[in-house]
Amino acid sequence: MCYRSVKRLLGETSLERKCRFLFGGGLMLLITGSFYFYAKLNLRIIREQTREQASLLVAPSILAYHAPQAGLNEDYLPIFQEVADALQAAPDYTFELLRPLVPQGREASADSTTAYIPPADKRAGDRSGRLAVQELMALYEEARKETNPQSDQPADVPLEKTIENTEDRKFEYYQVVLAGQKCVVCHAERQGNPDLKVGDMLGVAHISMPLVKTNREVQKNNAILIAMALITASLAMAAAYAIVRYVIVKPVLHLKDVSDAIAHGELDQRADIRTGDEFEELSHAFNRMLRHLVTVQDELKHVNNNLDAKVDELAQANLSLHEMNKIKSEFLATMSHELRTPLNGIIGYAHILNRDPSLNPSQASAVKVIQASGRHLLTLIDDILDLSKIEARKMELYPTDFHLPNFLEGIVSMFHIRAHQKQDVDFTYEKLTVLPPIIHADEKRLRQILINLLGNAIKFTEQGEVIFRVGLLDPHTQAYLDQRDAATTAISASETLRFEIIDTGIGISPDQLPRIFLPFEQVSEARYRAEGTGLGLAITKNLIDAMGGQLGVESELGRGSDFRLDLTFPVVWMTPHTQPSAAALETIAGSGDSLHQRLRVNEVRPDAANLKPVEAKLIPPPPEEMAILYDLAMKGELLRLKKQASQIEQMGDQYQPFAARLAQLVDNFDEDQIWKLIEQFLTE
C-alpha cells in the first residue's frame, strides 16, 4: 500500500480510529521487535552454552577413552572411577576420536594405546564430518607454519568447529587434540613412536549432543514470549483505546456537539468539560468566545437596527431633497422665464436711449451702465435656466448636419472682434489638419461650449494672445481620400475633433483646478468675478459630458491656461468629385474671408451709416443668437434663417421688430440687406 493510499485512508476516518490505528500499530511493532530481539539473543546464549559444554566434555572423554589402555596399575583406579562418575552425571552425548589417516605399516589393534578411529564409524564417512576435519587440519597446518621453531607450543589459533545438524537435531562439536609432554612420553614408551612431538595432532575429538530437549525448551520459551507479546499488545491497545476514547475524543466530541448546536441557533449552549487539564481550559476559552460572540451579535443587531433607521431617515431626506430640488428647478425655470420678459424690455429701451443723440455724456454713460447690467443679468438668468435643465435632466441635444468650416469661421470672426476691443490681445486661429466639411452635432450647444471657453480666455487675458486650434486626433480618413483617384461618393465616418484654447492670461493655481467646473465657483480675482456668474464652466462641462466628450485643462498661475476639448462626431468626407467648388460655396454662403475683412474694417473704422440702425426701435437678440444668424447667413441657409427669426420673436416682445425685419428680408431673398442687418448689430 503506497503512502498516498494510507494517507487517504487515514484522512477519511475519524480522529478516534486514527489514534487507535496509529498508536496500536506502533505499539504492536515495538513489542514485536523487542520480543523478537530477546528471543534471538536467548537462542544465541543457548548455542554458546552448548558449545562450551561440549568443549568441556572433550578432556574427560579422552581420559575415559584411555582408561582401558592404562593397564592394571591400582594407582589409576580411583581417578578412573571419579571420571566415570562425572561422565555419568553429564548430559547424554557420544564421543569419537577421529583420525584421518592411520600411520603407514602399522595396524590398529584393540589393545593398542594409539588413538584409534574405527574405519566403519559412520561419523568418519559423513560429509559434514569430513569437511569439518579437513577444515580443522587446514587450520592446524597454518598454525604449524606460524609456530616459532624454538618454541614447543603451537600458535594460539582456535582449532574447533561446530555444526548444528537440523535434520538429525544434533549438535556436532569438533576439536583438534594436540600431543602434550606426557602424551609424547606415554606414546613413545607404549607404542614405540619416537617421532611424536609436543604439539603434534593426535586426532580430532568429536562430541555429538542431541538438541531435541534443548529445542523443545527453546520452542516453549518462544511460545511463552509470543503469548506475552500478544497479551501485552492487547492490553496496550485496550489501554490506548480507553485513553483515546475518554481522555482525548470525548472532550473533542463534546465541543463539536456544542458547536453544532450553536450553528443551529442554540446560543444558550455552553461547553462543560471537567478534566482538570488543557481540555477544561479549552472549554473555558470556548465559552468566553461564545459569550463574546453573543455580545457582538447583539451589538451588531442593535447597530443594524440603528442603521436601518438612519437609512430610512436618509431615504426620506433624499426624497425631500429631490422634491425640493425639483421645486427649485421649476421655480428657477419659471422665474427665469418671467424675468426675461421685463429684462428684455429694459435692455431694449436702454438700447433705444443709447442711440438718442440728445443725451448728454452723463446720461449716455448711465444708459450704457443700464444696458451692460441688463445684459449681464440676462446672461445670468440664461445660465441658471440651463443649469436647472441639466439638474432636472431635461437638457436634450438636437444634432443636425451643418458645415463645420463656416461654423468655425463665424466663431473666429466673433472673437477676432472681441480680442481687438481689448487692444493688447491677439487672437489666432490655427487649423491643424484637414477638417471634415460636414459634421452631425448639436450646433447650438457646440457654439455655446466654444463661446464659453473662448470668452473666458479673452476675458482673463489682459495682454498677450489667445490661440484657437482645431484638428483631427487621427486624420486617417482624409489621407485615405487624398490617395483615391476615382472616388465618386462621399464617405461617412466618425472622427474625433480636438478644440484647443491656449491663453496667456492670469492662469489657475493647482489647488483651484478641481473647483473650476463646480457651479457658482469663481477662482479668479475679484474684478473678474463681478463680470461672471460662476456657471459657465459648470454648464460647459455638463454639455461636454452629455455629448460624450472629454475636457482637459493645464494651467499655471500667472502664465495662462490650456483647455483641450475632444468630441467625436459622425462626419461626411467629400471626395474630389463630390466636393463643392469654390464658386458654389461663394454662391451659397458668400466669402468668409471678405466678410471677415468687412467686419474688421467696420470695427476698426466705424462708419456712421453702419452704426445707424435699420429702424429706430430694432433691438438685436443676445450675442449667441447673433452668432447663429451669422453662421446661417454665411451658409446661405435662408429657410433656417427664417426659422431662427421665428424663435427670436418668441424670446421677447422687444425682439419682435428685429425678427420681423429679418423675416421680411428672407422672404425677399435680399441677401445684401440680410448681411447689412447682421453686420450692423454684430459690429456693435
Q: What is the pLDDT of residues 620-659, one digit of tens each?
A: 888 778 878 887 877 667 778 888 888 888 887 788 888 8
Task: Give the three cell numbers for residue 188.
Answer: 613413545
The answer to whether the beta carbons of residues 466 and 415 sit under 8 Å apart is yes
The answer to whether the beta carbons of residues 399 and 446 sit under 8 Å apart is no
Buried b vs exposed e over 472-492: b needs ≥16 C-beta within 10 Å?
beebebbeebeeeeebeebbe
Which ranges constitute the DSSP H helices of 437-559?
443-459, 476-482, 526-529, 536-546
3-state secondary structure of 93: coil
* pLDDT tens-digit series, residues 368-404: 878 777 777 777 777 777 777 776 666 788 898 888 9
3-state secondary structure of 555: strand
Type of residue at 123: R
Q: Model pTM greater than 0.85? A: no
For residue 166, the 8-state DSSP code is: T
Mean pLDDT, contiguous 10-residue spans, the chain (684 residues): 61 69 80 84 85 82 68 59 58 72 43 36 54 77 68 60 74 83 76 74 82 83 85 83 79 83 80 79 84 87 92 91 79 72 77 80 83 76 72 78 89 85 88 89 90 90 92 68 48 83 90 81 56 74 90 90 92 56 39 37 35 54 81 75 84 82 79 79 63
Contacts of 608 (CB under 8 A, 6+ apart): none
Contacts of 510 (CB under 8 A, 6+ apart): none
Contacts of 269 (CB under 8 A, 6+ apart): 258, 261, 262, 290
Q: Give the number of other Cβ atoms within 10 Å of residue 384's Cβ.
A: 21
The answer to whether the beta carbons of residues 375 and 412 sit under 8 Å apart is no
- What whole-number distance in Å separates Cα of residue 538 and Cα of residue 172? 120
Select from 70, 66, 77, 87 the least CA-distant residue to 202. Answer: 66
For residue 147, what pLDDT is reported?
Answer: 64
Angle at 276 between CA 270 and CA 277, to 5 degrees: 95
**Cα 402 vs. chain centroid, distance in angstroms?**
52
HSE of 375, CA atoms in CB hemisphere, 13 A: 16
Task: Give the three cell numbers for residue 258.
Answer: 456544542
Query: How far, CA to CA in Å, does 183 sit from each of 69, 177, 179, 464?
Result: 13, 11, 6, 146
Q: What H or E segment, with its residue span, contains residue 111?
A: none
For residue 154, what pLDDT is reported?
Answer: 53
- What whole-number distance in Å separates Cα of residue 460 and Cα of residue 166? 123
- What whole-number distance in Å separates Cα of residue 438 and Cα of residue 429? 19
For residue 581, what pLDDT is reported?
Answer: 42
- What whole-number distance in Å separates Cα of residue 334 and Cα of residue 246? 87
Type of residue at 603: E
- What whole-number distance in Å separates Cα of residue 657 and Cα of residue 573? 40
Select from 93, 133, 139 the least CA-distant residue to 117. Answer: 133
Q: Give the number of other Cβ atoms within 10 Å of residue 540's Cβ.
A: 23
Select from 496, 441, 440 the least CA-distant residue to 473. Answer: 496
Residues paired with residue 570 on neighbouring β-strands, in sequence order: 494
For residue 231, what pLDDT is reported?
Answer: 87
- What whole-number distance in Å separates Cα of residue 126 and Cα of residue 312? 114
Contacts of 437 (CB under 8 A, 6+ apart): 403, 404, 405, 572, 573, 574, 579
Select from 377, 315, 316, 369 the least CA-distant residue to 344. Answer: 377
Contacts of 370 (CB under 8 A, 6+ apart): 346, 350
For residue 191, what pLDDT is reported?
Answer: 66
Taken as a whole, the chain contains a residue count of: 684
- What whole-number distance in Å separates Cα of residue 495 and Cα of residue 109? 139
For residue 465, what pLDDT is reported?
Answer: 93
For residue 486, what pLDDT is reported?
Answer: 42
HSE of 317, CA atoms in CB hemisphere, 13 A: 6
- What whole-number distance in Å separates Cα of residue 661 and Cα of residue 658? 5
Query: How far, CA to CA in Å, does 207 sit from each of 61, 179, 564?
Result: 9, 19, 121
- What whole-number distance in Å separates Cα of residue 119 and Cα of residue 122? 8
Select from 632, 643, 533 the least CA-distant residue to 588. Answer: 632
For residue 277, the 8-state DSSP code is: S
507: left (phi over 0), alpha (psi -120 to 50) or beta: left
List strand residue ranges (DSSP E) for 390-490, in order: 400-403, 425-431, 438-441, 464-472
Please report where in the chains the cell 463646480 appears, as a residue: 518
Task: Give the three cell numbers for residue 430.
Answer: 490655427
The answer to whether the beta carbons of residues 378 and 419 sit under 8 Å apart is no
Query: How far, CA to CA in Å, does 73 sit from each of 67, 77, 352, 444?
Result: 11, 7, 185, 161
